[in-house]
Amino acid sequence: MGQMYFLVENEETMTSDSIKNNRNNNKNLTKWFSEIPFLRESQIMKIHYITGVGALFVVAIHIMMRLIMPFNMSLEFENVILNYKNIFYALLLESILILIAIHGFNGLRVILLEIRQTQIWERAVNILVIVAMIGIIAYGTRTIIIANGFSLG
């Protein structure tokens, strides 16, 4: 609401220049108050849909890799490590990790922002989901890199 006071207090002395300046200031304030200043909500939703559809294809390949041999056999340690040694499959796993982390945590953000709308809540939710997203991607990437490194040993 800070920008509201700013505009109201100055409304009596506004010139065309000051209106332009106020608009710019308002944009900057809006950027500060929106928690992800470089993306509009509509752009975030486009990313949400693109990552969702992308995840559909890569997860389908991931599941099919489990079904090219009897399911129990495909989960044996040697077979799983063989999958990770394949650089294309490792890249596929990394893409699954990134796509689902972005899609999933943004979905969680949307749900949490539907429940409550205050500035502190929105900022806390945005920070929480970004940190969680980066954390899970880092942790999963560590597994992929180390498991892929088994081929070097």
> What residues make contact with another protein under the rule CB under 8 A?
1, 4-5, 8-9, 11-12, 45, 49, 52-53, 56, 59, 67, 70-72, 75, 77, 80-81, 84, 97, 100-101, 104-105, 107-108, 111, 114-117, 136, 139-140, 142-143, 146-147
- Tokens 């979905």 map to which residue? 107
User: Of 34 and 74, which has the nearer Cβ to another protein?
Assistant: 74
Q: Which is nearer to another protein, 77 or 88 (CB)?
A: 77
Least distance from C-beta 108 to another protein, angstroms?
6
Sign of CA dihedral 17, 23, 26, 27: negative
The token pair that represents 108 in the structure block? 């969680």
Tokens of 140: 């999963």
> Measured from the CB atom, is 81 or 127 closer to another protein?
81
The H helix count followed by the E strand count for the chain is 7, 0
Least distance (Å) between residue 36 CB and another protein: 19
Choose among 146, 133, 136: nearest CA to 47: 133
Q: How far is the CB of 133 from another protein (least distance, A)?
A: 11
**CB closer to another protein out of 21 and 119:** 119
Q: What distance in Å separates the CA atoms of residue 133 and residue 97, rounded to the nearest whole number? A: 10
How many Å apart are CA 104 and CA 86, to the nearest integer? 26
Q: How far is the CB of 73 from another protein (least distance, A)?
A: 9
